[in-house]
Structure 1
């Protein structure tokens, strides 16, 4: 059983803060199972966006884990490209969560990133 999105987001924000970076909830989605998107702002005009990985990317031994993929073709992309991508996702699914992390090193703090 997967953690509710709200609980996972709260834990993720806390983890980022413990590591010395800043994280903020930009958009609250569906509490139970809203998709979570992570934007990493490098504070230099560039950003990365991580989106939920497709079902085929999940580890069958750990089906409850959340996995992410890099959402933009160019990494890092411009802030404008990252914001445009997130705006398209909101139009597609208004129940998404968006967490923004500010970290000059570009660390994602995500356990599972599928390439």
Structure 2
């Protein structure tokens, strides 16, 4: 059974804080099934964006998997989230500060060669 988006986000935020990091919910989406996007920032100010993996890459047991998305800077990030808002306004955005987001997320690679 898959955790609701609200529980997944709460657990992620708590885990990051418990390990001495910083996390913030930037946008609250649908409680049960809103898509979750993660913005990971490093101490140097760099950012990475992770979005939900497509169903074809879903994990056994219903866990959440993420794909790295192209977002080189704040402008790219804003454009991507604006596109998502037009498509589905019920998404979440969580920002975490970490040098290694893979510690907190299950990352998968798109089989088409992009990740």
Once the two structures are superposed, the pairs formed by residues 2-13 of structure 1 within 5 Å of their partners are: 2-13=2-13
Confirm or deny: 8 A CA contact 1:46 1:79 kept in the other structure.
no
TM-score for the superposition, normalised by structure 1: 0.84
Shift of the alpha carbon at 1:50?
Answer: 0.4
TM-score normalised by L of structure 2 = 0.84
User: Would you tell me which structure has more helix in proportion to its own residues?
Assistant: 2
User: How do residues 19-34 of structure 1 correspond to structure 2 at under 5 angstroms?
Assistant: 19-34=19-34
Q: CA RMSD in A?
A: 1.6
Is the contact made by 1:45 and 1:79 (CA closer than 8 Å) also made in structure 2? Answer: no
Which residue in the other structure is 1:110 paired with?
104
Shift of the 46–111 alpha-carbon distance from structure 1 to 2, 3 Å rule, reads: closer
Q: d(CA) in 2 for partners of 1:110 and 1:34? A: 19
Q: Deviations over 1:48-90 (max 9, x none)?
A: 100000111123xx23100000111x6xx21221222122212
Which blocks of at least 5 consecutive residues in structure 1 are unaligned?
none
Query: Post-superposition, which runs of at least 4 consecutive aligned residues in structure 1 deviate over 2 A?
Result: 42-46
